[in-house]
């Protein structure tokens, strides 16, 4: 019981680690895509991550597999990394890392709605309101994007990022379903191995040229995406999902847009227009609203109700006693 409580306390720190790594990955992915192209970048990160996770196969074989779960494993991997990384890689060829990162404000709302319908999780109204506010801010941010040499079509890129986020939300729901039966590292291994197989033929058909030389920045970007994001971040996130509800974890993902904006400014010198900064402010408001829990009745109010009921019950008893002893009352 004590060990389980300790693991429960580690859920939020693990989730925050995943969020920080994911936020920086938008910038790193932008660097990698510029050098290797979107499909080759994803394939390389899959292969390098699989090379590490290969050594854990003897541990994975001990997992208590349940019949029929292969369908959920396949759905998990197809949502993320397969389809999510395809759309994210394409998105970052058309928009900035900062704008793509801010679009992640849509993910908590998508996760909350999906968790409500598919996992029967209770979701308080403030989360929907806060997420909706964040969506308005994300829209304001996207429609005011300016085309540059590194982001030729921000509107298209941001739309592709919305598609990527939708697959990420579906991933969260499936991972939450499987996290109660399998370890976080095992789920990470499954999605990485399937992702490697998925992207192998895409590399051949994509026709992206292999760079004749690789820069240190490009090499670091691929290694960070492979080991930092694919292994550490996803393992932390899968662990967090095993200890908290999907909607609760999704609410914390509201921090992603602001962290992405910070890393885009710090590492790529990306800046936003005044209207876009206003959109970022709206997103912050949405985060604050979504994290506020509904006010509960205070002890004093509850005590007042108890006292009121007690007095009412006492008066009823006295009335009944009076009706049973009329002579005594008259005297």
Model confidence band, residue 245 (pLDDT cutoffs 50, 70, 90): confident
Whole-structure pTM value: 0.71
Q: pLDDT tens, 19-28?
A: 999 888 888 9
Residue 319: predicted pLDDT: 53
Model confidence band, residue 128 (pLDDT cutoffs 50, 70, 90): confident
Q: Where are the domains of the chain?
A: 9-295, 298-331
Least trusted range by pLDDT, from 11-25, 120-134, 225-239: 120-134
Report the distance separating Cα 149 and Cα 152, nearest Å: 6
Q: Of 63, 69, 46, which is closest to residue 183 (Cα–Cα)?
A: 63
Mean pLDDT of all residues belonging to the chain? 80
- What is the rounded average pLDDT of the residues 59-86? 92
**At a CB cut-off of 8 Å and minimum separation 6, what does 156 contact?**
94, 95
Model confidence band, residue 178 (pLDDT cutoffs 50, 70, 90): very high
Q: Of 165, 166, 150, which is closest to residue 33 (Cα–Cα)?
A: 150
Q: Find the angle CA(240)-CA(292)-CA(286) to the nearest 5 degrees.
A: 90
Q: pLDDT tens, 302-314?
A: 444 445 555 555 5
Model confidence band, residue 53 (pLDDT cutoffs 50, 70, 90): very high
**What number of CA atoms fall less than 13 Å from residue 263's CA on the CB side?**
25
pLDDT exceeds cutoff 90 at 120: no
Distance of CA 142 to the CA centre of its chain: 20
């Amino acid at each position: 019981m004590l060990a389980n409580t300790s693991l429960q306390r580690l859920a939020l720190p693990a989730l925050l680690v995943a969020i920080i790594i994911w936020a920086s990955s938008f910038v790193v992915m932008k660097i990698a895509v510029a050098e290797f192209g979107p499909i080759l970048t994803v394939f390389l990160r899959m292969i390098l991550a699989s090379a590490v996770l290969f050594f854990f196969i003897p541990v994975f074989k001990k997992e208590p597999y349940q019949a029929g779960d292969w369908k959920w494993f396949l759905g998990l991997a197809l949502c993320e990394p397969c389809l999510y990384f395809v759309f994210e890689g394409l998105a970052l060829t058309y928009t900035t890392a900062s704008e793509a990162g801010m679009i992640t404000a849509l993910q908590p709302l998508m996760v909350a709605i999906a968790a409500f319908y598919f996992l029967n999780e209770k979701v308080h109204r403030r989360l929907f309101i806060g997420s909706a506010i964040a969506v308005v801010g994300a829209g304001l941010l996207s429609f005011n994007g300016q085309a540059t040499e590194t982001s030729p079509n921000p509107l298209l890129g941001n739309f592709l990022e919305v598609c990527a986020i939708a697959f990420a939300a579906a991933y969260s729901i499936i991972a939450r379903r499987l996290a109660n039966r399998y370890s976080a590292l095992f789920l990470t291994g499954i999605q990485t191995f399937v992702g490697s197989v998925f992207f192998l033929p895409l590399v051949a058909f994509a026709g992206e040229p292999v760079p004749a030389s690789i820069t240190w920045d490009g090499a670091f970007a691929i290694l960070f995406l492979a080991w930092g994001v694919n292994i550490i971040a996803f393992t932390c996130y899968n662990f967090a999902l095993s200890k908290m509800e999907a909607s609760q974890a999704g609410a914390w993902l509201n921090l992603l847009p602001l962290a992405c904006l910070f890393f885009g400014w710090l590492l790529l010198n990306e800046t936003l227009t005044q209207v876009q900064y206003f959109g970022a402010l709206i997103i912050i408001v949405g985060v604050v609203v979504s994290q506020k829990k509904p006010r509960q009745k205070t002890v004093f109010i509850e005590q007042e109700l108890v006292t009121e009921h007690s007095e009412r019950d006492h008066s009823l008893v006295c009335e009944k006693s009076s009706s049973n002893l009329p002579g005594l009352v008259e005297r």
